[in-house]
Amino acid sequence: MGMLSLAIWTPIAFGIVLLALGRDEQAQSVRWLSLVGAIVSFLVTLPLYAGFKLDTADMQFVEKASWIERFNVNYHLGVDGISLWLIILTAFINVVVIIAGWEVITRKVNQYMAAFLILSGLMIGVFSALDGLLFYVFFEATLIPMYLIIGIWGGPNKIYAAFKFFLYTLLGSLLTLIALIFLYIQSGGSFDIATWHELPLSATAQNFLFFAFFAAFAVKVPMWPVHTWLPDVHVEAPTGGSAVLAAIMLKLGAYGFLRFSMPIAPDAAHEWGTFMIVLSLVAVIYVGLVAMVQQDMKKLVAYSSVAHMGFVTLGFFIFSPLGVSGGLVQMIAHGFVSAGMFLSIGVLYDRVHSREIASYGGVVNTMPKFAAFALLFAMANCGLPGTAGFVGEWMVILGAVKFDFVVGLLAASALIFGAAYTLWMYKRVYLGSVTNDDVKELTDINAREFTVMALLAVAVLYMGLYPKPFTDVMEVSVANLLEHVAVSKLP
Amino acid sequence: MTVALGASAYSVAVFHLMTHAFFKALLFLGAGSVIMGMHHNQDIRYMGAVRKYMPITWITSLLGSLALIGTPFFSGFYSKDSIIEAVHESNLAAAGFANFAVLAGVFVTAFYSFRMYFLVFHGKERYDQNPDAHHGDHHDDHESHSPHESPWVVTVPLILLAIPSVVIGFMTIQPMLFGEFFKDAIFIDAEKHAGMKILTEAFHGPVAMALHAVSTAPFWLALAGVVVAWYMYLINPAVPAAMGRALRPLVVLLENKYYMDWINENILARGARALGSGLWKVGDRTLIDGLLVNGSWKLVGMVSNWTRKLQTGYLYHYALVMILGIFLLMTYFVWLNK
C-alpha cells in the first residue's frame, strides 16, 4: 500500500472500527482510540514531506490501479507541491479537533469521533486524487460526515444549517459532474486529470467548463456572493465542525481552482480573471465590513474566513508566482488561524453557552492563559508580521501591487478592516473589567485545552517566523502550473 | 529630523535621531520616575517642588531638558544646531519657511520643556489640590502625599542616560557629520544641495561651534523660552491664565485635538459600521439569502405545489383533460392548420 493510500485509509479504518465497536458506556476508551487513530493518521502523512523531492513539478508518491474498467476510471493518486501541505494540514487539524472534542461531546461519542476521522481521510483523498471521477467521489463524500456533524451535534437551528450546507454545495458540484463527463467525452474516454490539462479546447468549451467548475468551487471557497451558507453553518456547527470546515473544507474549493479551472481552461481563466479579481476584492472589502458589525463571535469569524479566502482567490487570479504561492500559503495559514479562532470561541462557549460578544467582557481577568492564546490567534487573524497570517497576505498584496496598483491598494486596505473587526471583538470580549457573573466564574483552560491551543499556537508562530519549508515545497509546482496556464489551449 | 532629511542633510538626521534617543528616553524615564514618586498622579498642575524629594530624578531631568532645548555643549545642541544650519543653507523653495519654523520651534520647545520642569520640580507643593488623588486606591500610604525618590532600578538608568545626553553630541559630531562614519552609505549631490558642504567648511571643532552659538539666534530664542516659562509659571501665573481666557476658542480646539478623535469616532468608525451593517442586512440577508437562496427554494416549493395539484389521482379528471386535449388538437389540425 502506498503512502497516500495509507494517509487516506488509516483514519477511515479507525473511523469504521469506532462506528462498529464504540458505545457511549465506554466513551473514555472511544476517545483514546480516536486520538490514537488521529495521531497515527497524522504520522503516516509525515513521510510524504520527508520523502518529497523539491526540484520537480511531477506528481510524487503516485499510485495507480484500475477501478472501473468499463469507463476507464482509475484509483490514481499523487501529490505535488500544491497539495502536499494541504494533506499534512488536514491530518494535523484532525488531531487538534479530536482533542478539542474530548469532554465536550458526551452523546454518541464514537460516531462524532468517527465522523471526523472519516472526513479527514476523505479530504486527503480530494487533495491526492489524480482521476477526475475519484476526485468527484471524494469531494462529494466529504459532505456526508460534515452534514451529520452539523445535523447531530449542532446548535438549535442545526437542521436548517445542515440542509443549507448540503444543498448549497451539492447544487454547485452537480454542474461539475457534467463538466467531468464533458471532459471524459472530449478526451476520448479518459478521466485522467493530467490528460485533461493537455487537452485542446475551444473557447466556448473552456468558458462552459470554467463556469461549471466555478459553480462548485466558488460555493466551497466561498466567494461572494455565494458565501451566505458559511455564517449560518458555522453558527450551528459544533466547535470541531467549525474548525474543520474553516481550516480544511474551504480549501477544497480553492484547491479545485488550481487543479481544474486554471489548467484545464486556461484561456477562459485569463478571460474571466478580472471577474474573479473583482469578486475577490468584493469578498475582502464588503465581507470585511459585514464582519465588523456582527454580534455573534462565530459569525464574525465566519465572515472573516470569507474575507481571508478572498485573498486566496485574488492571489490565484493575478497569475503570478507570488500571487499563487501567496494564496497557497494563505490557505495553510488560514487553516491554523481559523482553527485557533473557532476553538477559542468553543472554549468560551463550553463555559458560558453563548456566542454573543455582548455576553462577555473582561475575560482576561479570569482566564489569563487563554486570553494570551486568543490574542495570538487574533493577531494572526489580522495578519501581524511574525504570525502565519502575515506571510500569505503579504505575498498576495505584493503580487497584486505588481499586477495592478489599484488592486493592490484595495487588497491592502482590507487589512485595516481585518484589524478592526478582530481587535474590536478581542477588546469587547477579553479586555476591560469583568462585566457579569458568568465571566467572573470562568475557570482558565485546563491541560487538554492548553494542549490544543499550544499545538496551533506553535504552528502559527512557526509558519510566521520561518515559512521557508512551506514556500519551498510549492515553488516548482506553482511555476510549472503558471507556465502551463500561460499557454493557450485553443485548437 | 525630517527637516534635516528635507534639506538633504541625511547624516545630520541620523545624528539627531541618535542624540534624541538618549535625551528623550531620559525624559520619559524621568517622567515615569516622577509619576511613581507622585503615587501615580501624572497631572503636573498638582506637583511642584519635587526637587526636594527626588534629587536624582530632578538633576537628570534638568540635564535632559537642557539637552532637548539645545543648550550649547549638550548633545541636543550639536544635532539641532546642525539641522538649523542645514536648513539655513538650503536653497529649496520652502527652506525659508522651514527656517522660520525651526527657529520658532526652538522657542516653543524651550518654553514647554521648562514649563513642565518648573511646574514639576520648582514652586510650591500642590499635591493636595488634586481632586482625583484622594480616591486613588493604588498606593498603600494614604497618609503621606509627599513624593519619594524612586528605587535604584529607576535611578541608575536615569544616570546612565543622563551621561550621553550631555556628552554624546560633543564626542561624535566630528566623525558622524564631517568624518568617515557613514563613508559611502550616504550620497548627496553637492551641486544641488550645498548645505552639508557649507557646514563642513564652517566647522572648526565642537568647542568653537558651541562658543559661536552664543552669538546666534537659536541660543537666545531658547533662553527666551526658558525665561518666559520661568516668569509665567513661577513668578506670575496670572499671565497664562489670562491668555487662556483670551484665546478660549483656540484652547478648546487644541484640547480636542482639532476634533480629529471626534471625526475618527463619529464619521470614520461609525460610517464603517453603518456601511457594514447596511451591506449585511440589505446585501447578505435580504438580497442574497432572502431573495436568491431562500427565494429559490420557495420557488421550487411553489412550482411543486402547483404541479402536485395536477396529480389528483381521479380518473374523471384525467379523462376530462384527455378529452379537452383531443378537442384542442383537433381544432388545431382541422380548422387552423389548413
Chain B environment of A293 (Cβ under 8 Å):
273, 276-277, 280
The partner residue sitting opposite A225, judged by closest CB among B273, B275, B288, is: B288
Question: Three-state DSSP class for B194?
Answer: coil
> Residue A339's pLDDT is what?
92
Q: Does B268 touch chain A (CB under 8 A)?
A: no
Contact A290 B284 (CB under 8 A): yes
Q: Which of B291, B293, B294 to mutate to test the interface with A (most CBs of A within 10 A)?
A: B293
Q: How confident is the model at residue B297 (pLDDT cuts 50, 70, 90)?
A: confident
Q: Is A1 helix (H, G, I), strand (E, B) or coil?
A: coil
In chain A, which among 251-310 make CB contacts under 8 A with chain B? 286, 288-294
pLDDT band at B338 (very low <50, low <70, confident <90, very high): low
| Minimal Cβ distance to A290: which of B279, B292, B293 | B279
DSSP A153: H
| Mean pLDDT of the region B107-131 | 86
**Residue B199 — very low, low, confident or very high, per pLDDT cuts 50/70/90?**
confident
Set of chain B residues whose Cβ sits within 8 Å of the Cβ of A286: 279, 283
Q: Which of B280, B291, B292, B296 to mutate to test the interface with A (most CBs of A within 10 A)?
A: B280
Phi-psi region of B110 (alpha: psi -120 to 50; beta: other; left: phi over 0): alpha
Cβ <8 Å between B273 and A168: no
Q: Is B279 at the interface with chain A, CB within 8 A?
A: yes
Of the residues A290, A296, A357, A417, the best mutation for testing chain B's interface (the one with the most B CB atoms within 10 Å of its CB) is A290
> Which pLDDT tens digit goes with each residue over B73-111?
898 888 888 888 888 887 777 778 888 888 888 999 999
Q: With a cut of 90, say whether residue B187 has pLDDT above it.
A: no
Which chain A residues touch B284 with a CB distance below 8 Å? 228, 290
- Whether the upstream peptide bond of residue A469 has omega within 30° of 0, thus cis, is no
The residue of chain A nearest to residue B282, with distances taken between CA atoms, is A290
Do A120 and A91 contact (CB within 8 A), yes or no?
Answer: yes
Q: What's residue A251's pLDDT?
A: 92
Taking CA–CA distances from A299, the nearest residue in chain B reads B280
* ipTM rounded to 2 decimals: 0.70
A222: left (phi over 0), alpha (psi -120 to 50) or beta: beta
Which pLDDT does position B143 carry in this prediction?
Answer: 46
Per residue, the 3-state secondary structure of A346-372, as one string, reads HHHHHHHCCCEHHHCCCHHHHCHHHHH
Per-residue confidence (pLDDT) for residue B136, from 0 to 100:
47
Q: Which residues of A touch B277 (CB under 8 A)?
A: 293
Residue B134 has pLDDT above 60, yes or no: no
Contacts of B292 in chain A (CB under 8 A): 225
Query: Chain A contact for B261, CB < 8 A?
Result: no
Distance from CA of A7 to the nearest CA of B (A): 37
Q: Which residue of B has its CA nearest to A421?
A: B273
pLDDT, residue B1, reads 66
CB contact under 8 A, B293 and A164: yes
Contacts of A290 in chain B (CB under 8 A): 276, 279-280, 283-284
Please indicate whether, in this complex, the C-beta atoms of A168 and B284 are within 8 angstroms of each other.
Answer: no
Residue A228 and residue B280: Cβ atoms within 8 Å?
no
Find the residue in A nearest to B275 (Cα). Answer: A289
Tell me the shortest Cα–Cα distance from B1 to chain A, in angstroms.
27
Mean pLDDT, residues B57-72 taken together: 90
Banded pLDDT at B137 (limits 50, 70, 90): very low
Name the residue in chain B with its Cα closest to that of A160: B294
Nearest Cα neighbor of A81 from A391, A332, A394, A398 is A332
Q: Residue A162, Cα to own-chain centre: how many angstroms?
A: 18
Backbone angles phi, psi at A78, to 5 degrees: 180, 160
Compute the average pLDDT of residues B19-43: 88
Among chain B residues, CA nearest to A290 = B276
Q: Which three cell numbers stand for residue B315?
A: 380518473
| CA A193 centroid distance within chain | 22
Q: Which residues of A touch B297 (CB under 8 A)?
A: 167
Residue found under cell 545630520: B12
| Residue A224 C-alpha, separation from nearest chain B C-alpha, in angstroms | 10
Long-range Cβ contact pairs of A468-471 (< 8 A, separation 24 or more):
A470/A85, A470/A329, A470/A332, A470/A391, A471/A325, A471/A329
**CA pair distance A308, A323, nearest whole angstrom:** 14
Give the pLDDT score at A436.
Answer: 84
Ramachandran quadrant class, A360 (left: phi over 0; alpha: psi -120 to 50; beta: rest) = beta
pLDDT at res. B296? 83
Residue % of chain B over a pLDDT of 90: 16
Residue B269, exposed/middle/buried by CB under 10 A (0-12, 13-18, 19+)? middle
Cβ <8 Å between A289 and B272? yes
Size of interface A-B (CB pairs under 8 A): 34
CA distance B251 to chain A (A): 32
Measure A306 CA to nearest chain B CA, in Å. Answer: 13
- Nearest by CB to residue B284, choosing from A228, A288, A417, is A228
Which pLDDT does position B133 carry in this prediction?
Answer: 55
Identify the band that residue B42 occupies on the pLDDT scale cut at 50, 70 and 90. confident
Chain B residue with minimal CA distance to A232? B289
Task: Collect all residues of chain A within an 8 Å Cβ-Cβ radius of residue B264.
Answer: none
A385 touches chain B (CB under 8 A): no
Q: Is the pLDDT of residue B141 over 60?
A: no
**pLDDT tens per residue, chain A (491 residues)?**
788 888 899 999 999 998 888 787 888 888 888 899 899 999 999 888 888 888 888 888 888 888 888 888 888 899 988 899 999 999 999 999 998 888 888 888 888 889 999 999 999 999 999 998 999 999 999 988 988 888 888 878 888 888 888 888 888 888 889 999 999 988 888 888 888 888 888 888 889 999 999 988 998 888 888 888 888 888 888 888 899 999 999 999 999 999 998 888 888 888 898 999 999 998 888 888 898 888 889 999 999 999 999 999 999 999 888 889 999 999 999 999 999 999 999 888 888 888 888 888 888 888 889 999 999 999 999 888 889 889 988 999 999 999 888 988 888 888 888 888 999 999 988 888 888 888 888 888 888 889 989 999 999 999 999 988 888 888 888 888 888 888 887 87
> Nearest residue on chain A to B287, judged by CA atoms?
A225
Which residues on A lie below 8 Å from B283 (Cβ)? 286, 290
Note whether B272 contacts A417, CB cutoff 8 Å.
yes
Length of chain B: 338
Cβ-Cβ contacts under 8 Å, B265 against chain A: none
Q: Are A110 and A17 spatial neighbours (Cβ–Cβ below 8 Å)?
A: no
Of the candidates A44, A163, A152, A149, the one whose C-alpha atom is nearest the C-alpha of residue A97 is A149
pLDDT above 60 for B142: no
Cα angle for residues B27, B33, B38 (degrees, 5° grid): 125
Q: Is B293 on the interface with A (CB under 8 A)?
A: yes
**CB distance A228–B288 less than 8 Å?**
yes
pLDDT tier, B144 (very low <50, low <70, confident <90, very high otherwise): low
- In this structure, what C-alpha cell is assigned to residue B316? 374523471
Q: Residues of B with CB below 8 A from A164's CB?
A: 293
Residue in chain A lying closest to B280 (CA): A290
Select the residue of B279, B292, B297 nearest A289 (Cβ to Cβ).
B279
CA distance to partner chain B, nearest, from residue A296 (Å): 13
- What's the pLDDT score for residue A460? 92
Q: What are phi and psi of A62, to 5 degrees?
A: -70, 135
State how far the Cα of A179 lies from the Cα of A192, in Å rounded to an integer.
Answer: 14
For B:1-20, CB contacts with A below 8 A are none
- Give the pLDDT confidence of A438-449 residue by residue, as tens digits: 888 888 888 888
Residues listed for chain A: 491
